[in-house]
Amino acid sequence: MLSYRHAFHAGNHADVLKHFVTIQLLQYLNQKDTAYSYIDTHSGAGVYALDGNFASKNAEFDTGIGPLWDRTDLPAPLKEYVDLVKAMNPSGKMRYYPGSPYCADQVAREQDRLRLFELHPADAKILADNFRKVEAHAAAQGVRPTTRGKRVIITKGDGFQGLKALLPPPSRRALVLCDPPYEDKMDYRKVKDMLAEALGRFPTGTYAVWYPLLHRMESRQFADKLKQLPAEWLNVTLTTHTPMPDGFGLHSSGMFILNPPYTLEPMLKQVMPYLVQALGKDEGARFTLETGTQVTGRSRLSGA
């Protein structure tokens, strides 16, 4: 099913959670010089125009990046994310929003590799066009030589299928982001199967999965299913408001991370209360933060 276009949702509260966590995971990898691979199984278009027809339709960015834009009291990890978005908007007006591949491109270094999958023909083309512009801009500024074709490889194809051929990566260091649309309920199953196979090939990789918290059973049971995978895990969710009685709209989403860096949990304990306060719409706003490991069956829960 290829009806989903991320442009409708760009910059919403779910993107804030996903992108700020992804940036922190990459910053952790940056602490060592050795190159790593960033693999995005569901890349989207890479960059979104917030004043374009898609994004302005429901103005979902008003639930996410919008309320953070002018805050002067951002905790450092959130500030890094907001600064990255501001850097692509030099006029100071919030016009463009970065997708996950663009965030990764900005944080990853010259020696790192980006492997990007996108199945939708239109978004795959926009993604490739956007990266041509990004690389040309970087080369013009002397930031890095034009490394397209080596540093960044974009594949128009199925990321669920494509991941296994990239594992283990040459440097044995990688972050995999898996962010499917979930409009097809089979996506839940495909994510788990993909991760099970990926862990078999590359058990020490870090795998980050974004997911929506919806009424449908597959969504409610999803995190518990992922907890059965053979790795340490961290599950963080952000709820911005009480669900509507008709179930309309996304009120809550999560990031489930396998093999999270030890720095992630303390960082989230610091930042999530701020995000709840900044993006929360009513008394239903809250976060949960849980860690554990399937190997010992241990788990810890915190939240507000």
Binding site for ligand SAM (CB under 6 A): 2, 4, 6, 18, 42-44, 99-100, 117-120, 123, 158-160, 179-181
Half-sphere exposure of 10 (CA within 13 A, CB side): 28
Q: Which residues contact 258 (CB under 8 A, 6 or more apart)?
A: 195, 199, 205, 206, 207, 208, 209, 226, 229, 231, 232, 233
- Residue with the shortest CB distance to ligand SAM: 99
Q: Is 205 annotated as a binding residue?
A: no
Q: Is 118 annotated as a binding residue?
A: yes
Q: Is 159 annotated as a binding residue?
A: yes
Are the C-beta atoms of residues 98 and 19 closer than 8 Å to each other?
A: yes
Q: Is 51 annotated as a binding residue?
A: no
> Whose Cβ is closer to ligand SAM: residue 105's or residue 135's?
105
Catalytic one of 40, 123, 179, 187 = 179
Annotated catalytic residue 179? yes
Cβ neighbours around 114 below 10 Å, total:
18
> Whose Cβ is closer to ligand SAM: residue 66's or residue 291's?
66
Are the C-beta atoms of residues 152 and 131 closer than 8 Å to each other?
A: yes
Distance of CA 93 to the CA centre of its chain: 23
C-alpha–C-alpha distance, residues 45 and 127, integer Å: 4
> Whose Cβ is closer to ligand SAM: residue 40's or residue 291's?
40
Q: Which residues contact 128 (CB under 8 A, 6 or more apart)?
A: 154
> Whose Cβ is closer to ligand SAM: residue 120's or residue 291's?
120
Q: Which residues contact 114 (CB under 8 A, 6 or more apart)?
A: 37, 38, 40, 101, 104, 105, 108, 151, 152, 153
CB of 36 to ligand SAM, least distance (A): 18
CB of 87 to ligand SAM, least distance (A): 17
CA nearest neighbour of 241 among 63, 70, 56: 63
CB of 247 to ligand SAM, least distance (A): 19
CB of 212 to ligand SAM, least distance (A): 10
C-alpha–C-alpha distance, residues 85 and 95, integer Å: 10
CB of 279 to ligand SAM, least distance (A): 17
Q: Is 183 annotated as a binding residue?
A: no
SS3 134: helix
CB of 5 to ligand SAM, least distance (A): 7
What kind and span of H or E run contains 212?
strand 206-212
Q: Which two tokens stand for residue 270?
A: 């610091």
Q: Which positions make up the binding site for S-adenosyl-L-methionine?
A: 19, 42, 100, 118, 158-159, 179
Annotated binding residues, written as ranges, equal 19, 42, 100, 118, 158-159, 179
Residues labelled catalytic = 179
